[in-house]
Structure 1
């Protein structure tokens, strides 16, 4: 039976979700709040959007669309306020919200506060009514001692940093829009990783879509779409325009306006354009509606996203959906997570570097077309419906009491003598492996047991198994795929057989540290030191997993943990199954990531040398995993041969007999030993 629909109270105190982005203090947050509400409504949920009244003629309640209402509360003067003046409205908004809930028979399952103003006002009211509260910031203030915009948006008023800390620490869950924002919240406000979830925004690919007939013959158009303020750096966009080949006649469109706190900034931009001699090629369009912005993006040749700080960079996703390549700065928070292969993410803020990157796109129509196709492909997999489904799942966990600190509850209530109770209570398990086939050979029975029991199991593999030995004749004649592609396909099939819901590769998003360039951890190779013990290959290269900085791999795994939010980590014990150096390193990395994120780490016992179980592990037979494990082993046909099954018998768990590529024959028993690693 489907779960009951949710009734959500979404709080957006300082700006109405219906306000046009790019005007005053309206921006990506407005889009996220409204579009996620619409997508939640399409899923059958209902959402009430609460905001502050900014005009005497505005109705108290407005039906936005089916399942969505906008409720305006009297809080402060009924007129627009600068963000720097908004603190005066927080206490009145709290009073008005409390009065509204007292006067209306509306039962809310969850309160979702957007921005710290909303959180400070809504937190005490939600607590009084026993309603779980989720907090999103959309922008995290720079530290008070920050000397550069690199650190983020300066606090617009004295209470912001304290307000963010309060709401981050007291809310049941913080929902960030990117891994970068999640890390910032954890580090600046000391919030445990178990109380921060990441739900990335989406894009409406029907509104934002490529032009049917792109016009690449006329002068190119550079587009900047954001509020006009120093944090968004439209000045860099103007400098880029001035450094392009003037014969191109390129134009720059600034789609946005300055807020009251930056009223003089537009004049400064005009002065800069005049000083650089490009004033006649800079158009200040002003704030754009969704439809207007989509048209601007379809007509643009390139979107420039030069912001100093973005928690995500929604306009990048919208531009890519429109088939417009994006150029952005890597260190701007979550921007790197919002830009796919069709874009260019730069490490420099030098205008000459940006101009060169722009020229590479403007000067080659084929290259522009290639990037345009990649951009659209990247965006089509990131819809609002997918975002809302994830958000609804997060809401349900909070409502069920699991969102506040599921990891802490599990770890605190589990004895090291009974790690199976930890696994049996886990809703999400992240298993960390070194190579394709390890998920089956090292942990197949336990993973199949978990998925058959309804757990969500996510797999991350450190390498692509490039150095694995190949069984002669295991690849059909004419198969010209790279070996890593063959192993990837085998891993897909094995994962499916085990019931694994998703898999990732370390060093690629979301298993990549925020702001880091993608990195490849290559299989370190191995040699058999004894018939049962592996050692490192003698010709290990510089990109081998065992020769890469350990801290990089730990940071990448932590990023994935932040994304997946597992209750438990599962991987090898410290012997690494049969001593493969990559296995041993994965154990080291998983241990470090577990310590850093406070996620329990369950170690799986290595191969048995005899029939005597290691008493330091807790053992369980899982005969129900036979079919799944056998099918998963069959999938890895280049690495092993399945010789047959042994059915369970008296005192024997049964298992699958196999021959490895090195010729060793093993029984993979349906008996697994686990222990909870001591921190």
Structure 2
């Protein structure tokens, strides 16, 4: 098979990571892999693993992007892929118009992946106009069924995102040098019970809830410390200042640490005693929660979206009704007072995701 994936750019993020993972699986299974994007820092890695990358400006949500329809059509006609797999709305629209100019019997099969709870409008509807629509969780399946009546339910295929269990092994402990470096940078973390809130500094991630929680717990448990593992975009600097002021006003300056952006998230998840998932909006999947459980760290999170699906299967005692702060407090106290164990994770694997995606490609192309 020859498969062409389209996405805006190749810098960082879940969509980008998933594209690389499927490209790698295609090559490993003896197929041809092509990716079209506006480029980015992941291109060398993609190309070194055997995928052909085509640079095309299909990333801007602007009328000027319509100039890319003809070049994209030429790329499709030149490579003649069996499958075109769109992963974002602008590339999906450009592909829609590009394919219209190709004779029906020469058009490739079209697949889309709905990675997010997109705004409900005509612009987003394009993601549900493919032969097969991959949804990254049951929550996304339901979201499509509820909001996009144009999409036949039988065309929706739920394929969970997956992680490599070898990259997040159960019981993982960071190396001694990592602890030395971390305690040098953050001496206040040594010999503490650590609550971790991972994720970018945005209003969506539930930082205010963490601050409230620490205010209620810090006197009762003087050994307790919270770490916020994630950086703030320059545009979010004012929000970070607001959080810092809130922490100052509550006299929690020595109880909450912001680590800024980290590339060693596995180590922080393994280092922590509890990981929290407190997003104000449902997440489509909840990869960080899965990574934490995979290394054996308990996760406590709101019962919604993809995080609820992961917790209900792997760690149901971590599920808390949305915004039930009394239950959240009780669950955290229980974890502080009594060590909880997480069973090894045997589902939600990267291999399952790749196998199911390739099986869908083969089903459409009737490739044996």
Aligned to 2:109: 132
Distance 1:142 1:245, change over 3 A: same
Q: Does 1:117 align with 2:90?
A: yes
Deviation at 1:128, TM superposition (A): 3.9
Aligned to 2:147: 188
Aligned to 1:623: none
Aligned to 1:43: 29
> Contact 2:141/2:158 (CA < 8 Å) preserved in 1?
yes
> Contact 1:52/1:73 (CA < 8 Å) preserved in 2?
yes
Deviation at 1:393, TM superposition (A): 1.2
Aligned to 1:269: 243
> Contact 2:73/2:101 (CA < 8 Å) preserved in 1?
no
1:165 equivalent among 125, 128, 134: 125
* Partner Cα distance (1:328, 1:63) in 2: 34
> Which one has a bigger Cα radius of gyration?
1
Distance 1:242 1:177, change over 3 A: same
Distance 1:193 1:75, change over 3 A: closer
Q: Does 1:198 align with 2:158?
A: yes
Is the helix fraction higher in 1 or 2? 2
3-state SS of paired residue (1:171): coil
* Partner Cα distance (1:86, 1:51) in 2: 14
Aligned to 1:651: none
* Partner Cα distance (2:366, 2:235) in 1: 42
Deviation at 1:213, TM superposition (A): 5.7
* Partner Cα distance (2:314, 2:72) in 1: 45
1:294 equivalent among 247, 256, 266: 266
Aligned to 1:334: 306
TM-score, scaled to structure 2 = 0.82
* Partner Cα distance (2:288, 2:226) in 1: 16
Deviation at 1:42, TM superposition (A): 3.0
1:324 equivalent among 288, 297, 316: 297
Deviation at 1:111, TM superposition (A): 1.4
> Contact 2:111/2:131 (CA < 8 Å) preserved in 1?
yes
Deviation at 1:320, TM superposition (A): 1.0
Question: What is the CA RMSD across the aligned residues, in angstroms?
Answer: 3.0
Q: Does 1:91 align with 2:66?
A: yes
* Partner Cα distance (1:70, 1:180) in 2: 32
Q: Does 1:9 align with 2:12?
A: no
Aligned to 2:56: 73
Alignment of structure 1 residues 551-566 onto 2, 5 Å: none
* Partner Cα distance (1:310, 1:226) in 2: 12
Distance 1:60 1:391, change over 3 A: closer
3-state SS of paired residue (2:79): coil
Distance 1:60 1:310, change over 3 A: closer
Aligned to 1:655: none
> Contact 1:45/1:67 (CA < 8 Å) preserved in 2?
no
| Alpha-carbon displacement from aligned partner over 1:316-354 (angstroms, at most 9, x marks no partner) | 1111111111111112x2222222343511113143432
* Partner Cα distance (2:67, 2:338) in 1: 57
* Partner Cα distance (1:223, 1:88) in 2: 42
* Partner Cα distance (2:94, 2:208) in 1: 36
> Contact 1:7/1:110 (CA < 8 Å) preserved in 2?
yes
| Alpha-carbon displacement from aligned partner over 1:612-661 (angstroms, at most 9, x marks no partner) | xxxxxxxxxxxxxxxxxxxxxxxxxxxxxxxxxxxxxxxxxxxxxxxxxx
Distance 1:167 1:120, change over 3 A: same
1:231 equivalent among 204, 208, 216: 204
Aligned to 2:19: 33
| Alpha-carbon displacement from aligned partner over 1:457-495 (angstroms, at most 9, x marks no partner) | xxxxxxxxxxxxxxxxxxxxxxxxxxxxxxxxxxxxxxx
Aligned to 2:288: 315
> Contact 1:254/1:282 (CA < 8 Å) preserved in 2?
yes
Q: Does 1:100 align with 2:79?
A: no
Distance 1:240 1:47, change over 3 A: farther
> Contact 1:310/1:334 (CA < 8 Å) preserved in 2?
yes
> Contact 2:83/2:111 (CA < 8 Å) preserved in 1?
yes
1:398 equivalent among 359, 364, 368: 364
* Partner Cα distance (2:239, 2:62) in 1: 23
* Partner Cα distance (1:96, 1:287) in 2: 37
Structure 1 unaligned spans of 5+: 1-5, 20-25, 77-84, 144-160, 402-679
Deviation at 1:259, TM superposition (A): 4.5
Q: Does 1:174 align with 2:133?
A: yes
Relative contact order higher in (CA < 8 Å, ≥ 6 apart): 2
* Partner Cα distance (1:173, 1:364) in 2: 47
3-state SS of paired residue (1:380): coil
3-state SS of paired residue (1:264): helix
* Partner Cα distance (1:296, 1:121) in 2: 40
Alignment of structure 1 residues 302-451 onto 2, 5 Å: 302-307=274-279, 308-331=281-304, 333-339=305-311, 340-343=313-316, 344-365=318-339, 368=340, 370=341, 372=342, 374=343, 377=344, 379-400=345-366
TM-score, scaled to structure 1 = 0.47
Deviation at 1:178, TM superposition (A): 0.8
